[in-house]
């Protein structure tokens, strides 16, 4: 048929992995130790323990939680441990650190669930221009997991991809 539009991308056999399709399906909560510090500056152990004991930890059921302190106070390690011990039976995942660290761990778990053997001898594009804040570490992990299987790995869009890896013959 003359003038027929041919989809060369479709015919190329390229497979796209879109990290936006990985769903962070749980609620995300922040636990900021600052709210339990005396004047937001230092920890009084007796009062802190009482606050931790009286806090409603069940509100974090089946969620992701990151624990941190937004003040410049020096917080002893055990203070984070007390919170972790309370949260452990309620949450899906806990990290001590910022939300960025939490997202890195969530995406690591989601990527580790993928069976990368389905990409054997395939040319794969890891989609760029994400709508979400996909951690940089997620792109690294996908590349590492794909390398044993994929014939080639590219980054971007089919119309403007950047070669990342090509299996030598």
Q: What pLDDT is attached to residue 165?
A: 94
**Could you tell me the mean pLDDT of each successive run of 10 residues in the chain, 169 residues long?**
54 84 91 93 94 96 96 94 96 96 96 97 90 88 97 91 89
Q: What pLDDT is attached to residue 130?
A: 74
Give the global pTM.
0.85
C-alpha dist (Å) from residue 148 to 80, 106, 113, 158:
39, 23, 16, 22
Q: What pLDDT is attached to residue 70?
A: 95
Alpha-carbon span 54 to 56, nearest angstrom? 7
């Amino acid at each position: 048929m003359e003038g027929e539009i041919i989809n060369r991308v479709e015919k190329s056999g390229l497979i796209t992995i879109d990290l936006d399709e990985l769903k962070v399906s749980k609620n995300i909560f922040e636990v900021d130790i600052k709210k339990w510090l005396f004047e937001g500056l230092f920890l009084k152990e007796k009062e802190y323990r009482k606050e931790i004991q009286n806090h409603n930890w069940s509100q974090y059921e089946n969620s992701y939680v990151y624990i941190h302190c937004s003040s410049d106070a020096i917080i002893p390690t055990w203070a984070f441990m007390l919170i972790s011990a309370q949260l452990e039976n309620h949450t899906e995942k806990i990290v001590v650190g910022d939300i960025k660290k939490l997202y890195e761990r969530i995406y690591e778990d989601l990527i580790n669930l993928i069976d990368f053997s389905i990409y054997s001898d395939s040319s794969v594009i890891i989609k760029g221009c994400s709508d979400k804040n996909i951690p940089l570490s997620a792109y690294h992990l996908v590349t590492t997991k794909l390398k044993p299987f994929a014939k080639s790995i590219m980054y971007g869009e089919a119309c403007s991809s950047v070669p990342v890896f090509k299996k030598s013959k």
